[in-house]
Amino acid sequence: MPDELNSPPDGIIDGYHGHSLTIRILMIVFSSIALYNAIELFILLFLTFQHYRGLYFWSLLLSVVLGVIPHTIGYILVFFNLAPTWLSLTISTIGFYVMVPGQSVVLYSRLHLVVQNSRILRFVLWLIIVDAFILLIPTTILTFSTAYVQTLPFIRGYNVVERLQLAWFCLQEFVISGIYIHETVKLLKLMPNKDQRRSRIMYELLAINFVIILMDVALLVVEYIGYYSLQTTLKPMVYSIKLKLEFGVLGKLVSLVQTNRSQPTSTEHEEYPGFVDPSQLTSDVTHAMPAESRVPRGMSAWNNISLESLPMSERRMRPSTNSTDNSQPP
């Protein structure tokens, strides 16, 4: 490890110099999967969302367009020496700025669906903001210094901070996912045992969050065993997969709180769960609510969910208040 810390990572200066064909193939494969996932998710966002607004929509969109894609392309240019170093590093750095903190913002933007404690939400938001400033700026300075100054203090500092940064951002996502898992388990305990469908969805949500954590652990392992070039191309692939999982998470969350009343010709009938008041579906599910508009303490977390700004497939068959009122007998 000391020798690795005193030498610049392979690839950051004048391209990748390793002779392993397997590493080169894996770098191309990881980058290709990341770009494919990003392009697919970009198309899905505009095909499925009815309204292009809300913190969830924009954080997911920017993480893809200005995060995964530039970060992937930047490191392809770096490792295969296809562009000037300053241009390649600038593109990859911009992508990293948006991709990694952006993933945490996506996690935060749906956290309010299961957390109604404003102090916890405020803590998570400030954690994301402060960590971004503390970790991103020093790493950027050390990255360009390693590439151009190439003195031992800068090289050693970059190797240490780069590993610390990755571990810290992973820990940040562990904290956010841990809060989500904890609150989801609490909701699961409040659900009636006979409601097998909603219980199954909750278990699926827990499984998705555990998968996200395991991918972060795998990324850390690759980093700390010394495969820098492999880790930097694996990273955008992992984050693109996590963003696609996040896209599926929201749909499952909404399916817990929306009504799926069928057409009169259908034989399927689903009701709101007992802890949902349909008349209170007024907030925007795609971003955390301001503190002044939160429900009073003690009320259910699901009483303030709205279908506005959701994919059209998630908005179907929502009963209107007027139709409900008109259907009541005089």
| In the chain, domain spans | 2-254
pLDDT digits (tens, 9 = 90+) for 164-174: 998 899 899 88
**Residue type at 71 in one-letter notation:** H
Q: At what angle are helices 21-48 and 69-79 packed, to 10 degrees? A: 160
Give the pLDDT confidence score for residue 323 in this predicted structure. 44
pLDDT band at 200 (very low <50, low <70, confident <90, very high): confident
pLDDT band at 304 (very low <50, low <70, confident <90, very high): very low
Answer with the residue of higher pLDDT: 115 or 310: 115
Residue 127 has pLDDT above 50, yes or no: yes
Give the pLDDT confidence score for residue 261 in this predicted structure. 32
> Mean per-residue pLDDT for 128-134?
92
Give the pLDDT confidence score for residue 128 in this predicted structure. 93
12, 143 in Cβ contact below 8 A?
yes
pTM exceeds 0.75 for this model: no
3-state secondary structure of 198: helix
Taking residue 7's Cβ as centre, other Cβ atoms within 10 Å add up to 11
> Mean per-residue pLDDT for 158-187?
86
C-alpha to C-alpha distance for 175 and 168, rounded to whole angstroms: 11
C-alpha to C-alpha distance for 157 and 142, rounded to whole angstroms: 7
Which DSSP symbol is given to 193?
A: T
How many CA atoms lie less than 13 Å away from 247 in the CB half-sphere?
Answer: 25
Q: To the nearest whole number, what is the mean pLDDT of the chain? A: 75
Give the pLDDT confidence score for residue 56 in this predicted structure. 85
Residue 187 has pLDDT above 90, yes or no: no
Give the pLDDT confidence score for residue 239 in this predicted structure. 92
Give the pLDDT confidence score for residue 248 in this predicted structure. 73
C-alpha to C-alpha distance for 238 and 243, rounded to whole angstroms: 9
C-alpha to C-alpha distance for 140 and 93, rounded to whole angstroms: 7
Give the pLDDT confidence score for residue 305 in this predicted structure. 39
Residue 242 has pLDDT above 80, yes or no: yes
Answer with the residue of higher pLDDT: 3 or 76: 76
**Residue type at 247 in one-letter notation:** F
pLDDT band at 185 (very low <50, low <70, confident <90, very high): confident
Which DSSP symbol is given to 289?
A: P
Give the pLDDT confidence score for residue 182 in this predicted structure. 84
Residue 321 has pLDDT above 60, yes or no: no
Q: Which CATH class name applies to 2-254? A: mainly alpha
Q: What percent of the chain has pLDDT over 70?
A: 71
pLDDT digits (tens, 9 = 90+) for 6-37: 777 777 777 777 777 888 899 999 999 999 99
